[in-house]
């Protein structure tokens, strides 16, 4: 079984499942998808604009090795119903000081490189995914643990993948991106030390094969932020919407 998990990492730092598709056989030769993704996200940090951008979409696989939006690493089948992967992923900062006039006096929050381990168990009714990612770039020095339920539903008009997930982010991770240092505090933004937070995500993805080679994947998601993040004075809303559409050619 080949399971391709397409993701994009957005400024909130939460990996988003764009499409999760199971195939009949495991990859033993090159597989490549190439296209474009249009991404949109509602801002949840004061001074940040709603996000809208176009990114190239690239997904390469050869045996256990994968390179693509989900990261760089290895992924392999274990038994008939399980898959394990280890990938390097990028977590983007929630603050862009060059564009954010309200928070331009804040110290820079860098993007982080994380090593993520993921296990997925496939059942006839639901697919269970557990993942743990940890900072390997000495940036936030924290971790995120994730548990997700999803299932691919094939129909005459393409595949639908509903999913729900919870993500627990450590105190170190939350404080780095959402904390307010004493030297950054103002009359509007009080000093704040971030606390560990458990967030929730719900999404629906639709994958439509235009032809055998061309595919369109669209996704709509809603994220609810835990109190450790939503209590930060720089956070303007505790829930926000995001979406993505990708058009790609499968070689």
Q: CA separation (Å) from 117 to 6, 38, 86, 198?
A: 15, 27, 5, 19
Residue pLDDT, tens place only, 62-104: 989 999 876 899 999 999 999 999 999 999 999 999 999 999 9
pLDDT given at position 29: 76
Helices then strands, counting H and E runs in the chain, come out as 2, 15
Higher pLDDT, 13 or 168: 168
pLDDT given at position 215: 96
Instruction: Dig out the tokens for 131 from the structure.
Output: 């993942």
Task: State the Cα torsion 183-189-190-192 to the nearest 10°.
Answer: -80
Stretch 114-132: mean pLDDT, rounded?
97
Stretch 21-26: mean pLDDT, rounded?
38
Q: Does residue 47 surpass a pLDDT of 90?
A: yes
pLDDT given at position 105: 95
Q: Which of 54-58, 165-169, 223-227 has the lowest mean pLDDT?
A: 54-58
* pLDDT above 90 coverage of the chain, percent: 83
**Given 3.40.1440, 2.60.40, 1.10.3470, 2.40.160, which CATH number is that of 2-250?**
2.40.160
- Contact between 136 and 114 under an 8 Å Cβ cutoff? The reply is yes
Stretch 112-124: mean pLDDT, rounded?
97
């Amino acid at each position: 079984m080949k399971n391709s998990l397409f993701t994009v990492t957005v400024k909130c730092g939460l990996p988003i499942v764009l499409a999760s598709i199971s195939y009949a056989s495991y990859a033993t030769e090159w597989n490549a998808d190439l296209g474009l993704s249009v991404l949109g996200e509602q801002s949840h940090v004061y001074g940040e604009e709603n996000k809208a951008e176009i990114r190239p979409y690239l997904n390469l696989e050869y045996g256990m090795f994968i390179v693509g939006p989900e990261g760089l690493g290895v992924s392999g089948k274990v038994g008939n119903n399980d898959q394990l992967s280890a990938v390097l992923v990028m977590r983007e900062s929630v603050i862009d000081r060059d564009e954010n006039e309200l928070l331009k006096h804040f110290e820079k929050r860098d993007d982080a490189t994380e090593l993520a381990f993921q296990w997925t168990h496939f059942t006839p009714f639901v697919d269970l995914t557990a993942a743990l990612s940890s900072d390997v770039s000495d940036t936030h020095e924290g971790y995120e643990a994730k548990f997700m339920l999803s299932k691919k539903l094939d129909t005459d008009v393409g595949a639908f993948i509903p999913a729900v997930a919870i993500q627990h982010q450590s105190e170190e991770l939350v404080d780095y991106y959402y904390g307010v240092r004493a030297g950054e505090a103002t009359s509007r933004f009080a000093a704040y030390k971030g606390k560990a937070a458990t967030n929730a995500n719900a999404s629906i993805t639709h994958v439509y094969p235009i032809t055998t080679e061309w595919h369109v994947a669209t996704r709509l998601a809603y994220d609810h932020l835990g109190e450790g993040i939503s209590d930060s004075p720089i956070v303007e809303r505790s829930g926000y919407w995001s979406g993505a559409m990708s058009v790609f050619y499968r070689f």
